[in-house]
Structure 1
Amino acid sequence: MAQQFEDKFNRKFYYLRLSVTDVCNFKCTYCLPDGYKPSGKKNSSFISLDEIRRVVTAFADCGTTKVRITGGEPSLRKDFNQIIETVAQTPGIRKVATTTNGYRMEKQVADWKAAGLTHINVSVDSLDPRLFHQITGENKFHQVMAGIERAFEVGYEQVKVNVVLMKDLNHHQLPQFLEWIKDKPIQLRFIELMQTGEMDDLFDRHHVSGVAIRNHLIANGWLLKVRAANDGPAQVFVHPDYQGEIGLIMPYEKHFCDSCNRLRISALGKLHLCLFGEQGLELRDLLQQDEQHGELIARIEQQLQTKRVSHFLHDGDSGMTPHLASIGG
């Protein structure tokens, strides 16, 4: 194994978020309210299976043990099963996860599991079908819920459900969500709305801090769980009376970036050091041949030394990310 990927702040990177498409078939208010629009740029084909194999191998050789396949909606890729298989068969990779809107899960999740997918996150921003439709732009609530049930049927022991918290829309639904996970092995992850370049007005209207939820959980006997090295940024809480768990992702909290352990590859093969950072570093020219492996690692290592200590979101700096689908959330 090559040297572990590490930045100048001694943060080690065990976790790769790999976007395989920026196309999505939902129109979520906080991400793509007007629906997906192609960039129109020339040579904008998405990263291929061979390129995926090479970049994941480079990361695995430098200590990465978890890969999350993201989008857009990653299951829109016709070769999604092969992508899962390619990642899962990479020596050193122990967790293969995906984040999906769940609309294809009922039909396809058994195939994903067979291909090697170990963990699933599904976005469900409301348990009210009408509000779900309002937030996502799609009347697919019942299909998504059937997909979650199917995931349990095919053998997943836990499903993570992502909920973007929005003031005056869904943040009052905590009791409903808690009731839902009482007897289900679901880790409910409340994610604070994040400011991106195109979303200033929506952010101002709907941002709500996760602190109130955390205070409510602690006051009601929920306990903080210890993080594993390749876990994401959630603060996870457990309760003896609940089968489910609660995760809180609060990027505006001080020291949020101290435990950063993940890097991102966009669907166009660029390395992004932060969801809110910069334009991204081109890697595609080094993903064409297996012989470029050492050079690829060297370029990533060199760029890693420029990673900032923080995303500075709390200072109102939302970076250059136009919307979350563009580099896989």
Structure 2
Amino acid sequence: MLKDTFGRSFPYIRLSITDVCNYKCSYCLPQGYKKNPGDMRSFMSFEEISRLTKTLSELGVCKIRLTGGEPTVRKDFFDILKDMKQNSNIPKVTMTTNGYQLNKIANQLHEAGLDGINISIDSLNRETFKKLTGHDRLYEILEGIKILQTLNFKNIKVNAVLLKDINDTPEEFEKFGNFIKNNKIDFRFIELMQTGDNLDYFKKNHVASKIFKDYLEKNKWVTQTHGKDAGPSLNFIHPDYKGKFGLIAPYSKNFCQTCNRLRITSRGDLRLCLFGNTGISIRHLLQNDNQKDELVNLIIKQLHLKKESHYLELGDTGITPNLSSTGG
């Protein structure tokens, strides 16, 4: 198992396969995707990703989440997904997506063996969704979710970034509540995080996650225990609802104590923390199968450098310019 000096183990890897995103979300890429002129490296190839995931499985990793950018913009996305399911021995492969063309690819995702999907929906109001993302595609996403449900796809989660005066009112919470009342879907609010290039937006739109937690407790939602490969969400259940509510609150006290995930960027950099100040390339050890032992040793050595916590509460966003650049 991968372990750090604080006794935390890491069975969960967030693996970005592209920085490219076709949305223009106001909190992440308001001007749309632009290539970093200072980094001319290509994205990891199919072969490099395949070698990486096979090695990770031998290190005790039992869950990989494919992220971006938007992972489905890669032409070989389904080849990568199928290889992970069929050849890597990773028990659980999930993905995070903006839901672009979900209604058209839902069947393919199911057939490829995807184990879970996280879909970004910041508002169930069509105009608000369009304003936040730059795309009028809410209906297509909701249709895609229905298709997955008809296929008996079990693990569907919806994420929304909590934004001041946009989706932070009891009325908005109730809309999402009605959405999950008869749908076995986990809906989670993510507290807006400051990154290297969104300080003004953060100051204007950040609202503490406590506002949602207070709403849940007031309405008799009860916290649920974490699974070993679960993400950072604090989940809540209610006897009258088929779905669950969740809350990801990176500014909360002791948030990092239960950290169980590492990140690998689309260009092959190992990141110990989303908001860390360091990263190291492991790509040079993904060029042939004989490099596996060196790769294992490098990853284990790097874990000794993982810090106990991020320093977001101090305004230290590390080397993360925006969430798309490191897989969110």
Q: Shift of the alpha carbon at 1:328?
A: 0.5
Paired-residue identity, %:
45
Give 1:284's aligned residue.
283
How many residues end up aligned between the 2 structures? Answer: 326
1:23-38 matched pairs, under 5 angstroms: 23-38=20-35
Gaps of 5+ in 2: none
Give 1:212's aligned residue.
211
Matched, 1:63 2:60: yes
1:1-329 matched pairs, under 5 angstroms: 4-41=1-38, 43-172=40-169, 173-329=172-328
User: How much is the aligned-residue C-alpha RMSD, in angstroms?
Assistant: 1.1
Q: Deviations over 1:126-172 (max 9, x none)?
A: 00000001111111111111111111122212410000000011112
Q: Shift of the alpha carbon at 1:315?
A: 2.0
Match of 2:57, SS?
A: helix
Match of 2:263, SS?
A: strand
Match of 1:171, SS?
A: coil
Contact 2:5–2:304 under 8 Å retained in 1: yes
Q: Shift of the alpha carbon at 1:43?
A: 4.4
Match of 2:15, SS?
A: strand
Runs ≥4 residues deviating over 4 A: none
Mark the CA change 1:205 to 1:43 in structure 2 (over 3 Å): closer, same or farther.
Answer: closer
Contact 2:116–2:154 under 8 Å retained in 1: no
CA distance in 1: counterparts of 2:150 and 2:100, whole angstroms: 16
Contact 1:165–1:192 under 8 Å retained in 2: yes
Mark the CA change 1:90 to 1:226 in structure 2 (over 3 Å): closer, same or farther.
Answer: farther
Gaps of 5+ in 1: none
**Which 10-residue stretch deviates more, 265-274 or 214-223?**
214-223
Give me the TM-score of the superposition, normalised by structure 2: 0.97
CA distance in 2: counterparts of 1:260 and 1:158, whole angstroms: 21
**Which 10-residue stretch deviates more, 106-115 or 159-168?**
106-115
**Which 10-residue stretch deviates more, 193-202 or 35-44?**
35-44
**Which 10-residue stretch deviates more, 46-55 or 124-133?**
46-55
Q: Shift of the alpha carbon at 1:71?
A: 0.3
Q: Deviations over 1:244-268 (max 9, x none)?
A: 1011000000100000000011000
Q: Shift of the alpha carbon at 1:210?
A: 1.4
Q: Shift of the alpha carbon at 1:42?
A: 5.9
What code does the residue aligned with 1:77 have? R
Mark the CA change 1:167 to 1:300 in structure 2 (over 3 Å): closer, same or farther.
Answer: same
What code does the residue aligned with 1:232 have? G
Q: Shift of the alpha carbon at 1:12?
A: 0.2
CA distance in 2: counterparts of 1:183 and 1:48, whole angstroms: 41
CA distance in 2: counterparts of 1:65 and 1:158, whole angstroms: 16
**Which 10-residue stretch deviates more, 104-113 or 72-81?**
104-113
Contact 1:18–1:68 under 8 Å retained in 2: yes
CA distance in 2: counterparts of 1:228 and 1:78, whole angstroms: 33
Contact 1:103–1:147 under 8 Å retained in 2: no
CA distance in 2: counterparts of 1:268 and 1:195, whole angstroms: 23
CA distance in 1: counterparts of 2:210 and 2:131, whole angstroms: 25
What code does the residue aligned with 1:103 have? Y
